[in-house]
Structures are given as structure tokens and as C-alpha cells.
């Protein structure tokens, strides 16, 4: 199993550009989520999904869109990139049997917005 | 609102010395508590969770509901323990994790 995969590993954008960060998992996990990691702030939840066709906002959703058309994929879209979105982005997934399930993280995407 | 506080950004200890990472939380109810670790060039992974009451790699964490704390401890630190450690919580019927700011641990020889 590849686990949770993310592409690209690194990306540079100009202000105003749009892009999609890809996330995929092959563990048949129902729950998937996106976090951003910023120094001194830990990881903050952007959006999450409890299954195909179901998404919801996390703590910092502004400027990001998500969709979940399949169980495996959970892409994160930046609509119009801003320097404040410079960060490291992590995708995570877990089973949905109960709370307290281990969440499995991808390797991260480092994004720089100029 | 739920919140996780890790007061130490950096922690430096000598090999063989005890290490304690502090974590305090704010939650109206009974949360699930976790410690996640990120070693250099590796992805974030679960270290331990309070419901399991387990010891992983020599680390233990005790939930103190009175003090709303979940401190991580290891009696004898090893160089391979150098990493970033995150305390996290989720609600009992929830899957979303709230993370603290993280503590970078450096174990010196």
C-alpha cells in the first residue's frame, strides 16, 4: 500500500494564480482532511470529508475549495493564491469507525506564493 | 471552543536525561487525546493516544482531567527521539483533530 500520497511536493505560485493540490489514499478510509502547517501555529484544519460526496469546513477554510467524488481522492483547490497561503499542506485520512482512530498523514506539499 | 496549548516551542535535553513535553487542553467534555510525532524528513505519525494507555518507544502520557493536561514523558531520552511533537485532541464523537503549536525536541549526545 502506498498509504496517503500528495502531489506536488513543492510548488511556487504567483499571487492570483490558482492550483490544485492532489491527495489520494489506498486504504479505503472514509475520513479525509487537509491541514496547513505554519511555524508557531501547529496544524490547522482547512476542510474535511467523512465520505464521498460529503465535505465540510474546518478552522481556516477561506480561499480553499474541496470536493470528494471518490473515496480515494480529496483534492484541495486554491482559487486565487495569496502570500498568506504560503505554507506546508498535509492531507490525512482515517477510518470512520469511531473517534480516536489513527490518522495517517501524507508527506506534505510545500507551497510558496510570491 | 477546544484548544490545545504546548507552552514549550523548543526543548533540549542530554541523552539519558528525562524529558517531559507539556500539553494542556481546553474542552467542554471528555476529549480524545493524542501525541503525534514528526521525525526529520518523515511524515507526521501517531505516537500514542490516551485511550490505549500504552507505552510507545518508552514514552508515556497521563491524562489529568483535573489539570486538563496530557504531558508526554520519557525517563531516558535517546538521540533518535529528536523530532517535532504535537499534542492533539478530538471530541468523543468527532474525527477532526485540533493540534497544539508543537514542541521541537533536540537530544544532545
In chain A, residues with a C-beta closer than 8 Å to the C-beta of B99 are 35, 42-44
Q: What is the mean pLDDT of residues A92-109?
A: 86
What is the Cα–Cα distance from A102 to B36, expressed in whole angstroms? 10
Nearest CA in chain B to A50: B95
C-alpha cell at B100: 497544539
Q: Between these two residues, A39 and A108, which has the higher pLDDT value? A: A108
**Min distance A42 CA to chain B CA atoms (Å):** 4
What is the Cα–Cα distance from A5 to A32, expressed in whole angstroms? 12
What is the Cα–Cα distance from B21 to B72, expressed in whole angstroms? 5
Cβ neighbors of A35 (< 8 A, separation 6 or more) are: A43, A44, A45, A46, A58, A89, A90, A91, A92, B99
pLDDT of residue B40: 93
A103–B97: do the CB atoms touch at under 8 Å?
Answer: yes
B99–A58: do the CB atoms touch at under 8 Å?
Answer: no
In chain B, residues with a C-beta closer than 8 Å to the C-beta of A59 are 98
Residue A33 has pLDDT above 70, yes or no: yes
pLDDT tens, per residue, chain B with 109 residues: 789 999 999 999 999 999 999 999 999 888 899 999 999 989 999 999 887 777 889 999 988 989 999 999 999 999 999 999 999 998 877 778 899 999 999 999 9
Q: Is residue A23 within 8 Å of A44, Cβ to Cβ?
A: no
Q: Where are the beta strands (DSSP E) in B50-102?
A: 60-64, 69-74, 83-90, 98-99
B99–A40: do the CB atoms touch at under 8 Å?
Answer: no
Going A114 to B83 to B22 to A33, the CA torsion angle's sign is positive
Distance of CA A42 to the CA centre of its chain: 15
Q: What is the per-residue pLDDT across A84-99, written as a single tens digit (0 to 9) for each?
A: 999 999 999 998 766 6
Residue B43's nearest CA partner among A25, A67, A68 is A25
pLDDT of residue A109: 97
Put simply, whether A88 touches B (Cβ < 8 Å) is no
Place A74 in a pLDDT band, splitting at 50, 70 and 90: very high
Amino acid at each position: 500500500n502506498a498509504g496517503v500520497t500528495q502531489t506536488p511536493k513543492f510548488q511556487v505560485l504567483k499571487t492570483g494564480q490558482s492550483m490544485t493540490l492532489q491527495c489520494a489514499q489506498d486504504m479505503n478510509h472514509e475520513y479525509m482532511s487537509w491541514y496547513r502547517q505554519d511555524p508557531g501555529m501547529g496544524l490547522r484544519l482547512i476542510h474535511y470529508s467523512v465520505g464521498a460526496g460529503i465535505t465540510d469546513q474546518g478552522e481556516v477554510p477561506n480561499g480553499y475549495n474541496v470536493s470528494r467524488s471518490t473515496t480515494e481522492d480529496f483534492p484541495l483547490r486554491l482559487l486565487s493564491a495569496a502570500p498568506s497561503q504560503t505554507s506546508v499542506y498535509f492531507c490525512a485520512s482515517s477510518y470512520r469507525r469511531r473517534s480516536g482512530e489513527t490518522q495517517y498523514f501524507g508527506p506534505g506539499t510545500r507551497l510558496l506564493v510570491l | 471552543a477546544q484548544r490545545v496549548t504546548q507552552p514549550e516551542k523548543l526543548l533540549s535535553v542530554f541523552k539519558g536525561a528525562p524529558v517531559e513535553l507539556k500539553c494542556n487542553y481546553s474542552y467542554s467534555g471528555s476529549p480524545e487525546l493524542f501525541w503525534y510525532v514528526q521525525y526529520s524528513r518523515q511524515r507526521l505519525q501517531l505516537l500514542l493516544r490516551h485511550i490505549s494507555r500504552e507505552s510507545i518507544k518508552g514514552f508515556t502520557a497521563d491524562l489529568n482531567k483535573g489539570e486538563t493536561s496530557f504531558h508526554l514523558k520519557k525517563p531516558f531520552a535517546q538521540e533518535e527521539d529528536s523530532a517535532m511533537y504535537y499534542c492533539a485532541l478530538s471530541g468523543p464523537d468527532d474525527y477532526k483533530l485540533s493540534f497544539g503549536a508543537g514542541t521541537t525536541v533536540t537530544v544532545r549526545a
